[in-house]
Amino acid sequence: MSPSPNPITQGNDAHIRPRRPKRLLIVDDAALVRAYYRQALEQPGGYTVDEAFNGIEALEKALSGPYDLILVDVNMPKMDGLTFVRTLRTTEEIACLPVMMTSTLNRDKDIAAARAVGVNLYLVKPISVDDLRLFAAIMTGATEP
Amino acid sequence: MAMPRTGGPSQPDAVTDEEFARFCEFIYRRTGLSYGASKRYFIDRRILERVERSGVSSVQSYLALLRFDSTGRELEEIINSLTVNETYFWREEYQFACLANSILPEVVRTKRRGEPVRIWSLPCSTGEEPYSIAMWLLENWADVDQYDVEIIASDIDTQVLAAARQGLYDARSVQRLPKWVLDRYFERPTSDRWRIVDSLRSSIEFTRINASDRAQMAKMTDIDVIFCRNMLIYFDDVSRREVADSMYSSLRPGGFVCLGHSESMSRISPLFAVRRFADAIVYQRPAR
Amino acid sequence: MPLVKAPSGAAAPGGGPARNTPNRDAVLADLTADTPDTRRAAARACRAFPDAVALIAKRLEEEEDTRVVEALVLNLVAIGGPAAAAALAPLLRSDRAGCRFAAAEALADMGPDALPFFDALIRDSDPQVRIMAAEIARGRVGGAVVQTLEHLLGMEEEINVCCAFIDVLAETGTADTAAVLTAVLDRLPEDQFLRFSVETALSRLPTD
Ligand SMILES: C[S@@+](CC[C@H](N)C(=O)[O-])C[C@H]1O[C@@H](n2cnc3c(N)ncnc32)[C@H](O)[C@@H]1O
């Protein structure tokens, strides 16, 4: 077996995949966004993917985890993404989960608000498949940043 | 539809991935019922049954029928076939286990001496649920002798309430109960009838309440645990939120709500905190 | 027996007969009380005063506590009418995500009273407002919301707004929606998410 190449410098996205299956939770009220993230990350990325519709469902799922990474939108019904992350960070069993926030909101204050509640990485939509895979790999520790 | 159906080639016999996705999204947004891919076979069967019964020619037309039927009748039909529109003893018993093992131990931690534990079955239908709670606690909650437990059971329908007070059941209702529970809490007026013993019947308070009536709901206060199972799925978005808002006010701080299997608060209301216990996920009014 | 029968009738020690109509000034003053419990009680009580719509809406802009926000929003939906819809519409621009979506959901739940506000918000110059306004179209506002979305999708330049419209159309569209979706791909620069949205929506739309 050849030593596994550095996925980033390799630049070939087929190699940007975790060494063992990592579990992701995708949280977005838009069905098409969830489907897009799933197809980007599940098969080629090798991740196991679960979905939640909003912050409340995400908390239910996160508590039933474990997950390696949560991808979460901001604008969602009943519980928005910022409230979700704030609650997550104060819920003992799941407080330390890495969170990647993806949103259409692109102003500095939106990003500052996300950072303030404990979001680890903020990406503005639309996001390419390559970027999704790259950042998911970095965030799950599947590769060195 | 008047056309006789022959089950010819026009009758669909499978549900595509896209139709499944669209259906699940619709049902979740409308009812709050949520199903994952593991329920695929079950859901497909229910959809195809309803396609056949309603006489439409394709799954796509069925989805359109569901969406645009302003009477809400087809939605009710599909909810009934997705859930079990019949109540019975020990239904979703893992929640009773959760009640005795996790919820009540937490509830009584903040009780003063002599303060009752108040449990509310809303809706109670013909009584299987509140009686199940009572029997389960008497049998399985270690501390049951140390507290006064009040069980209140409500429904909008006076006929089911009358039946609940009578406490007379057939074999189908009691089939999941172990024999020793039957022996201890039931009489047998005839060979195919089981009746709850008087002492148990008379210890439960049955009262008519319309969950959507804010004034009636407001009279219920200081509740520790509400069982609200298999009712909100029939309500529209606003009505569900209103009931959740009323339930919140009826609970004492730190009190709990248990919803039915496949039901989730996520489509209903942001008021409650999510709590995961060993046996179940339940919802809590924050203590403050 | 440890089971004791609850007091009958109201079945609650704290229950008893319904209280008299609350004092209007006291309730409205309590809306800004310090403790969230008092504010929430006031928020629930002020449903008795439909003319307080403007005040409720103003509170909604400032209120941070979810439990109070929920009670206020439910009031506006219950009071209904153009005044309540008018009070909700500006909240789609709120800086707080929870408030934006609560307002959009409330408008979606309101029925035809929300329609004129939908028609305006969906054409707003701020793309974030257009995205939130699309949520209203999932509700039962009636009218020609699907056709409105289709029409505007034909001119929309922002990819994120297009995708928000497409997500709603994938759910509510008809066989006629397909042509509009295909046209978007020809008109706008290539984007993976846009392409995926269109193709998935096409596969989910009814064909007859
Ligand atoms: C399917 S049964 C659920 C019974 C039981 N909780 C269970 O899960 O087995 C639904 C019940 O809800 C009651 N119901 C419907 N609308 C109601 C309302 N607005 N207030 C109170 N009860 C209501 C019906 O009368 C019926 O008995």
Q: pLDDT of A124-144, one tens digit each? A: 999 999 999 999 999 998 664
**C-alpha B213: how far from chain center:** 19
- What pLDDT does C12 receive? 47
Nearest C-alpha in B relative to A57: B266
Mean pLDDT, chain C, whole residue set = 88
Indicate whether this model's pTM tops 0.90: no
Query: Is-cis flag, bond preceding B123, omega within 30?
Result: yes
> What is the β-pairing status of strands B204-208 and B251-259?
unpaired
Asked whether the CA dihedral C69, C73, C75, C81 is positive or negative, the reply is: positive
How far is the centre of ligand 1, averaged over its atoms, from the C-alpha of B30 (Å)?
A: 18
List residues bridging with B281 in a β-sheet.
B276
Predicted pLDDT of residue C32: 92
Residue range C19-36: mean pLDDT, rounded: 84
Q: Chain B within 8 Å of A116 (Cβ-Cβ)? A: no
Q: Angle of helix C127-136 relative to helix C97-110, nearest 10 degrees? A: 40
Report yes or no: C109 at the B interface, CB cutoff 8 Å: yes
Per-residue pLDDT reduced to its tens digit, B222-266:
999 999 999 998 888 889 999 999 999 999 999 999 999 889 999
Residue in chain A closest to C165 (alpha carbons) equals A30
pLDDT at residue C151, as a whole number: 96
Q: Is the pLDDT of residue C206 over 90?
A: no
Look up residue A121 and give its amino acid: L
Report which of residues B70 and B232 the model is more confident about: B232
- Written as six digits, the tokens of B128 are 């299987």
Best C163, C184, C190, C194 member to test A by mutation, with max A CBs in 10 Å, is C163
Give the model's pLDDT for residue B6: 44
- The residues, any chain, with a CB within 8 Å of residue B261's CB and separated by 6 or more, are B92, B229
pLDDT at position A85 is: 97
State the average pLDDT over residues C108-114: 90
pLDDT-flagged residues of chain A (< 50): 1-12, 14, 18, 144-145
**pLDDT level of residue B3 (50, 70, 90 thresholds):** very low
Report d(CA A113, CA B26) in Å as an integer.
32
Mutate which of B159, B231, B234 to test ligand 1's pocket (most atoms within 8 Å of Cβ)? B231
What would the pLDDT profile of B33-45 be if each residue is shown by its tens digit?
Answer: 888 788 889 899 9
Give A 29-68 residues with CB within 8 A of chain C: 30-33, 35-36, 39
Is A104–C128 a contact, with Cβ atoms under 8 angstroms apart? Answer: yes
Check CB contact of A140 with chain B, cutoff 8 Å: no
Which pLDDT value is given to residue A21?
A: 85
Provide the terminal-to-terminal Cα distance of chain C, rounded to the nearest Å: 64
Q: Is the CB of B91 under 6 A from ligand 1?
A: yes
Please state the rounded mean pLDDT for residues B211-217: 92
Q: Please choose, from the candidates A98, A31, A29, A106, the residue with its C-alpha nearest in 3D space to the C-alpha of residue A69.
A: A98
* C-alpha pair distances (Å), A68 with each of A49, A53, A99: 10, 18, 9
> Mean pLDDT throughout C159-179?
93
What pLDDT does A19 receive? 59
d(CA A82, CA C50): 32
Q: Which residues have a Cβ under 8 Å from the Cβ of C20 and sit 6 or more positions away?
A: none
Which string of DSSP letters, residue by residue, matches B81-131? HHTT----TTTTTHHHHHIIIIIHHHHHTTPPTTPPEEEEESS-TTTHHHH
ipTM value greater than 0.90: no
Average pLDDT score over residue span B89-114: 94
Nearest CA to C135 out of C175, C107, C163 is that of: C107
Q: How many CB atoms are closer than 10 A to CB B146? A: 12
Q: Which residues of A touch B280 (CB under 8 A)?
A: none
- The distance of A73 to chain B (nearest Cα, Å) reads 15
What distance in Å separates the CA atoms of residue C47 and residue B288, rounded to the nearest whole number?
25
pLDDT at B100: 97
Q: Is B168 helix (H, G, I), strand (E, B) or coil?
A: strand
**Between B77 and B69, residue with greater pLDDT:** B77
Return the closest-CA partner of residue C67 out of C88, C87, C42: C42
